[in-house]
A = this chain, B = another copy of it.
Amino acid sequence: MMKNNISYIDKVRENILDHLKTYQHSETIYNASKYSIEAGGKGLRPLLLFTALEALDTDIEKGISAASAIEMIHTYSLIHDDLPAMDNDDLRRGKPTNHIVFGEAAAILAGDNLLNESFNVIAKDKNLSAEVRIKLVETISNRSGQSGMISGQMLDIEAENRKTSLEELESIHAYKTGALIKAPVLSACIIAQAAPEISERLEKFSEVIGVLFQIKDDILDLEGNPELTGKNTGSDAKKGKVTYISELGLNGAKEALAKKVSEANSILNSLDELISTAGLRKIVQMFAERDQ
């Protein structure tokens, strides 16, 4: 079941590359956009969307355009984040970042392109009703824009090298990382037309695993294997970034992680009579135990 969902991540990548290829008019824009999609991440956001659809007993196929859009948005945000004016990173997932390969102008435009085309991919998906498609555009753009990720990126930059409270840290992450982990869960609820009592609890669930994801990210930055994470160990500390580690210490962060795991599972317990939670439980485990 879970394995099947993972194979769907490849379908998402194929769908994105097909789209980029079909509508190309500048070779550079095509190559630069393709490069970062192929550099590929773990596909956790598509996986989450498909697993939520499965939990809601809905055809996974219906989630491909929304999963593609969210993956494109995630990818564009990494391209722009890596730019010299932002995080100034030369490596991402062990490969040269987009602007290192294609230059800054192309990297800015390729990022713009992936954001722009993400909404086109949903809009043209004739397997979904107009109502579902426009609701997806509204919800995803809400999470990826100034109500979510983009504000989070700005707040994160502004918090660098300045003391923040744990509360502020959680708020920044809710915007920066959490919003795009919430988006696939909300998208699945829209596609499955889930009842409000279910979608409200799944939304809360997505908030909890968003925090869990970020705590694990911070732990991996300190403890992870650079060959797996594709990042140098301790890079957050070097940049003076406020993280769960800098605020709670390593043990404190691990305790916080365990607490979030149990919180996520208890929400799933409350959903057990309404939906099939097995896949979502595996997601919680995967988020908490991942090594990259």
Residues of A within 8 A of B (CB): 20, 23-26, 28-30, 33, 76, 80, 83, 85-86, 103-106, 108-109, 111-113, 115-117, 119-120, 122-124, 129-131, 133-135, 137-138, 141-142, 144-148, 150-155, 157-158, 175
Contacts and interface: CB of A to CB of B under 8 A. Distances in A.
Nearest to A77: B112
A23 B146 contact: yes
Contacts of A120: 137-138, 141-142, 145
B116 A155 contact: no
A146 B105 contact: no
| Total copies of the chain | 2
A129 to B, nearest CB: 8
Nearest to A129: B130
A11 B125 CA distance: 32
Contact of A29 (B103, B141, B150): B150
B105 A85 contact: yes
Contacts of A124: 138
Contacts of A115: 112, 115-116
Contacts of A152: 25-26
B20 A146 contact: yes
B112 A151 contact: no
B141 A106 contact: no
Contacts of A148: 25
Contacts of A76: 112
A145 B112 CA distance: 8
Given A112-B150, A113-B150, 15 more contacts: A23-B146, A25-B148, A26-B175, A30-B146, A85-B105, A112-B112, A113-B145, A113-B146, A119-B137, A119-B141, A120-B137, A120-B142, A122-B137, A123-B137, A134-B137
A28 B154 contact: yes
Given A119-B141, A138-B124, A144-B116, A108 B130 contact: no
